[in-house]
Amino acid sequence: MDGSIDIRLVLTVLGIVFSVAGAAAVARSQISRMQELLKDMETRMRNADTRVDKLETTVTAFVEKQEQRVGILAGMLSPGNQERHHREAADVLARLTVLERTQAKLEAKVGWGKE
């Protein structure tokens, strides 16, 4: 071996070159598969994020509506309103009692209730 190229050396170098080229092709294929998987996962994540946003909006609107309803009911059932309603009912009952007495007196004068 005095500087000449040996056939074994050439075959060894060619084998290494083909091995590296094959490994690069496999790596390129796997990288493209990984990129496709990443795009698919990103799409799924964006879709899930959109669904979550819609649900949050719906839940927020529902909660606000329920809070408003509870506030209205709390106002209607507040002690001040209950007291006012009870006074109005007592006033109506008192007027009814007066009307019933007046009716009984009028019927007694006219003589309707004696038949």
Residue 3 pLDDT: 60
26 by DSSP, 3-state: which? helix
Q: Read off the pTM.
A: 0.50
75 CB-near residues (< 8 Å, 6+ apart): 81
Look-up of token digits 């990288």: 31
Residue 12 pLDDT: 92
pLDDT at 2 over 90: no
Q: Is residue 3 part of a domain?
A: no
Note whether 72 and 88 are same-domain residues: no
Note whether 51 and 21 are same-domain residues: yes
Note whether 70 and 85 are same-domain residues: no
Rg of the chain over Cα atoms, rounded to whole angstroms, equals 47
Count the domains in the chain: 2
Containing domain of residue 37, as a range?
Answer: 8-77
Note whether 14 and 67 are same-domain residues: yes
- Asked if 97 contacts 105 with a C-beta cutoff of 8 angstroms, the reply is no
Q: Is residue 53 part of a domain?
A: yes
Q: Give the pLDDT confidence of 96-109 residue by residue, as tens digits.
A: 999 999 999 998 88
Q: Is residue 113 part of a domain?
A: yes
